[in-house]
Structure 1
Amino acid sequence: MLALLSGYLTLAYFLAVKLLWVSVVASTAYLLIACFGDICETLLSPKQPGGMALGSALGLSARHQAQASTVLAGIGRTLLLLTALLLAFLPSGSSPGDLLASFTQMDVTSKSLGNLNIVPSDILMALICLVVGLLGVRVLKEWFGERLLPETNMDAGMQASLVTLIGYIGFVLVVAVVMSTLKISLTNLTWVVSALSVGIGFGLQAIVQNFISGLILLTERPVKVGDWVSLAGVEGDIRRINVRATEIQMGDRSTVIVPNSQFITQNVRNVTMGNALGVVGITLTLPLETDVLQIRELLLQAFTEHEAILDTPAPSVTFKDLTNTGLIISASGYVNSPRSVGGARSDLLFTVLGRLRELGVALSAPQSMVLINEGAGKETPEENP
């Protein structure tokens, strides 16, 4: 509009044509991308009739079929998006092949910047590669984390580790491409490496140690996202493993930032590693005259009736000890997760205490002996340890 009002009719015509062309390309690309995604969903998804028939004919499992649908849809959308970008910036009267050829014939004979073999066109291309590369890595991480990996049988911790590693690898590749575009060799970075070495020796040693420890945590996976860990007085769920530190969410919903090196150099208690089951235990001290068989049936019934207690392994009741203070009986059962232990134990204590009162059975009270001081004529009760 400004070009038209200023009298630049040719420029106004050019801008109007380019804007119309970009709008047509963008609209067509959006429709084609949506259509291609719907086609993949209809023909390959195991949730659709067409996908079910194709899977039965080819003998594919539902999980592999869903993965194939996600991968093909991602590849197709990427190709359509790249084609749309080439067409949108296509010069007038040129074909997509001419545009690609023009990129390979860019003028690189400009003057260098000082002693470095870097020309202005290389800087422009490096900036474009950096922006496009970082955006591509971000999109790739979101695609893996939200589309592809949820279709696999990997646990949430493994998925988070893979997405993080993909981000690291992608960032390294982007930096390598940018350096290659700028024609920077490793020999030109000798002074940078030397400066980093001095910095590591003086103040960056802890940062590098935490970074290496983070890579070990992501590859060896002694702890992973979602684990319930206890470390140096900090206990909670791991929410995220970053480059330098790990985020642990406490029971009060607060977050503690723990350096990664502590997971490598200190003893870590991982409650959910290996066995995801939790154990609910109750110990009762009863009077000596109590019918232990009746108490055994009461505890087994209470554990069996609770919805959180698993049938396998079955609950058990153990006669732990017989002392002068009473009978010590212990009962235990398993729940699906260690996080469910506290709630299940509280419910069972309410139930067991109520049923003991109905039967008229009291818990054993601590015994005491009375010392009589004949001279003063007073009785002093003293608790018997």
Structure 2
Amino acid sequence: MTRLLAAGFAAFLLIVTVFGALAQDTAEPEAERPPAYVVKDDGSPDYAAWEQAANRAEQAIEQNRASDKVLDDLRLELTDWRNLFSEAQKENSIRIDTLKMQLSTLGPEPETPGSEPAVLTQRRSELTTKLNSARLPVQEAEEAYSRADVLIREIDALMRSRQTDQMLALGPSPVNLALWPKAFTDLKTTLDLAVGEVRENWGSDAQRQDLRSDLPLTLLFLVVAILLLTRSRVWIMQLGNKVRERRRGSARGVIGFIVSIGQVLAPMFGIFVLMVALNLAGVLGLRGQVIADVLPWFGFSLFSSLWIGTRLFATESGGAPLIDLPRAALRTEARVNVALLGMLLGIWPILTSLSDHEGYAGGTFAVLSFPAIVATGYLLMRVGRTLRQHIQVQSDGETKTFRERAVVLMGQACAVVGIAAPVLAAIGYTTLASSILFPMVLTMGMIAVLSLLHVFLINVYGVVRKIDEKEADQALLPVLMTSVLVLLSLPILALIWGVRPTELSELWTTFQQGFQLGEARVTPRSFMIFALIFGIGYVATRATQSALRSSILPKTRLDKGGQNAIAVGVGYLGIFLAAVIAITTAGIDLSSIAIIAGALSVGIGFGLQTIVSNFVSGIILLIERPISEGDWIEVGGQMGYVRDISVRATRIETFDRTDVILPNSDLVSGVVTNYTRGNSIGRVIIPVGVAYGSDTRRIEAILLEIAENHPMVTVSPPPSVVFQGFGADSLDFEIRAILSDVNFMLSVKSEINHEIAKRFVEEGIEIPFAQRDIWLRNPEALVGRPEVKAPAATTEAVSPAASPPKDMLTAEDMPGAESSDAEDGDSDD
């Protein structure tokens, strides 16, 4: 359990670290600030101050001359006002609900004035006046909330428009050779100034004095930083290999993943130690500090890419590659490409930070950034080719599964972006090129991290369930957990692709408001309360059912069918009560949608009338209990034992051990034969035929004796033997006996028939079989057949199941022959 907790904490730490690093350029942490709204002494909104703020915002939007920073501040102010108005809408809610309830008790207002007592009319008027007075501040807050919401949406639209214009702006082309001298001159000036700042700081007497006093600590930090940056990854990989060798199965993957995280954390710690050493030395100037501020992102990007490449292409001993390639050289090349992509991704913020600090012209920035864009695009194309090679190895060039198609699509996207970005930058769309190129690299990194986390979750599941890797890979729970991680990563992907944090916060605000269902509003909070209460009620209901089935009902005198009916009824009642209590607790008012539900129920009733009929029939079966579990029934030509009675259908197990699902409506409206209803006593009828000339009284006595001697035949009432009549081939008798358990009818029949055959042989009683006489009407047709001596009738007793001999003439061989049944072998010719 400790290992699992450590694994979960490590995964959580990795996600938080990745998300925090990816979002650092997009959202700066906000300091605590006082709210921008103004309230009166009684806590209600100051609508005069709000009017001024709203007019100021409308003017800024109309003029469209305010900077982005001013618009962001204005949006924050409007957001504070909107939150205030949202809370003000809840004012007097209890009093308003009370007044509404009081008005509803008075009934609807009569159409004809004066048709009701004056006392009721006066009371209705007083309650209406109070209700309107209580609603007034709420209506003011609703109107102000709508205005604030519209202004916020207009500011968001204006900011998106500006962002789009900046992205699509055509700037200087970096392939214009006239811009190169100026760009190189600006870069040389920056480097000279940076070196000059270092020399100036180094030459300061005060700085040298501080350096001498902090020299031991500075040297210690510097040595530790160098060791962590250069050797920590190798040490952690060696440690991981040793730890993995001691584990088997899924535990190897779990331990290997946890240890491998140190390949990122240890070098990152080394970068922070290096920054502390540089700050103690005090040699960094303004430009050096600009680079140092972005240095953690550079280190994280570089070491994360190294970790991703190592995990994807498995350089660790015994590791199975997540992306398989046919040759080791290709795997090494792929790891190098991923590492270089991470390095370029870390260099880009350094370049943009220096450009902003130095105020480079558009041409200078275009020239300096063009090599990074070209190199990144080239490496991204190679990564796309690697993905396609992986699919070719896995599926022999035929993409069949969703995963394979998704990987091929990602490879194609990498190739397209890798080609398009440098082309756009060469034309002059540098901002557009960087806006699609580097987010694509970050997106691929995010997908890689999610894939590695998915493998880690599969291994954790295998360790918890103690199953092998293949079985854990087919489990559903790791897929669901990965799906949750994917959903959590969507906001980060939105930030990567340029969505502003304020837009995400606005989306979250809209999500928190929920949706309108009639006059009821369903919010995430109310839904979570509903799900929690209903879940508790559902679990309690199932626990009660289990207690009834196993502990309480078996101790009563109810039969099995009655016990099942009570348990099922308690289940339906419990789920219904759980739903009602959950809806009430969550505050969801469904009375406003009663008309809509009534209208929908008509259409649903026509479409689901069969299901509803079966449902009602199931309730009738559970209440009236004409059949119960374990009964032997026959309905609609199907015979078997009732094994389960549900709301929609009943399951019957036939004697062939097959399950037949019968709709409950067939059991209620059809003819059902229940052989074991109430008790298992039933009658068996065994027919017996004897040859003509037998002593009928003796036959009756023998059959009666056989029936009475069988242990399953009841004594009261006793069995009986009936002489049914004279059959075509035999004298027909029937044994009619009541069995103590009719479920053994077939076995009793078989045992009695065996005894009858034995006794009849001992008594010399013949059991006849059918005989047939053939009469030849035209014997002259047999001329030319020497085996027939004379045209005479021949009689041959043949068993119906036996085939005639080859030398015997059949009726089909004799033209004009007719057959007729004769009794006791007598001929009619």
TM-score by length of 1: 0.65
Deviations 1:299-337 (A, max 9, x none): 122212222222222111122224674432211212123
1: distance between equivalents of 2:745 and 2:538?
Answer: 44
Deviations 1:254-279 (A, max 9, x none): 11111111112222222222553122
Please name the residue that 2:731 is paired with. Answer: 327
1:198 matches 2:603: yes
User: Displacement, 1:172?
Assistant: 0.7
AA matched with 1:293: R
1:305-316, aligned counterparts within 5 Å? Answer: 305-316=709-720
- What's the Cα RMSD here? 2.7
What stretches of structure 2 of length at least 5 have no aligned partner?
11-511, 781-790, 796-818, 823-829
2: distance between equivalents of 1:263 and 1:314?
Answer: 34
Please name the residue that 2:581 is paired with. Answer: 177
Please name the residue that 1:354 is paired with. Answer: 758
1:242 matches 2:679: no
AA matched with 2:821: N
Please name the residue that 2:793 is paired with. Answer: 379
Aligned partner (choices 131, 143, 147) of residue 535 of structure 2: 131
Please name the residue that 1:105 is paired with. Answer: none
Please name the residue that 1:366 is paired with. Answer: 770
User: Displacement, 1:136?
Assistant: 0.8
Please name the residue that 2:625 is paired with. Answer: 221
SS in structure 1 at match of 2:702: helix
Q: Contact conserved, 1:366 with 1:384, CA < 8 A, in 2?
A: no
Please name the residue that 2:67 is paired with. Answer: none
Please name the residue that 2:592 is paired with. Answer: 188
Please name the residue that 1:55 is paired with. Answer: none
Higher normalized contact order (CA 8 Å, seq sep 6+, divided by chain length): 1
2: distance between equivalents of 1:121 and 1:302?
Answer: 78
SS in structure 1 at match of 2:647: coil
AA matched with 2:763: L
User: Displacement, 1:297?
Assistant: 2.4
Q: Contact conserved, 1:277 with 1:335, CA < 8 A, in 2?
A: yes
C-alpha change, 1:370 and 1:210, in structure 2 (3 Å) is closer
Please name the residue that 2:235 is paired with. Answer: none
Q: Contact conserved, 1:367 with 1:383, CA < 8 A, in 2?
A: no
Stretch of structure 1 that moved more, 188-197 or 227-236:
188-197
User: Displacement, 1:118?
Assistant: 5.5
1:79-228, aligned counterparts within 5 Å? Answer: 113=514, 115=516, 116=520, 122-190=526-594, 191-201=596-606, 203-228=607-632
C-alpha change, 1:323 and 1:112, in structure 2 (3 Å) is closer
C-alpha change, 1:322 and 1:218, in structure 2 (3 Å) is same
Aligned partner (choices 702, 705, 708) of residue 298 of structure 1: 702
TM-score by length of 2: 0.32
1:343 matches 2:780: no
2: distance between equivalents of 1:273 and 1:175?
Answer: 36
C-alpha change, 1:366 and 1:194, in structure 2 (3 Å) is same
SS in structure 2 at match of 1:378: coil
1:67-78, aligned counterparts within 5 Å? Answer: none
Q: Contact conserved, 2:653 with 2:660, CA < 8 A, in 1?
A: yes
2: distance between equivalents of 1:142 and 1:335?
Answer: 36
Paired positions, count: 279
User: Displacement, 1:367?
Assistant: 4.9
Stretch of structure 1 that moved more, 162-171 or 322-331:
322-331
2: distance between equivalents of 1:335 and 1:183?
Answer: 62
AA matched with 2:655: G
Aligned partner (choices 667, 676, 685) of residue 281 of structure 1: 685
C-alpha change, 1:204 and 1:298, in structure 2 (3 Å) is same
What stretches of structure 1 of length at least 5 have no aligned partner?
7-110
Q: Contact conserved, 2:634 with 2:674, CA < 8 A, in 1?
A: yes
AA matched with 1:127: A
User: Displacement, 1:344?
Assistant: 0.5
AA matched with 1:280: V
More strand by share: 1
More helix by share: 2
User: Displacement, 1:231?
Assistant: 1.8
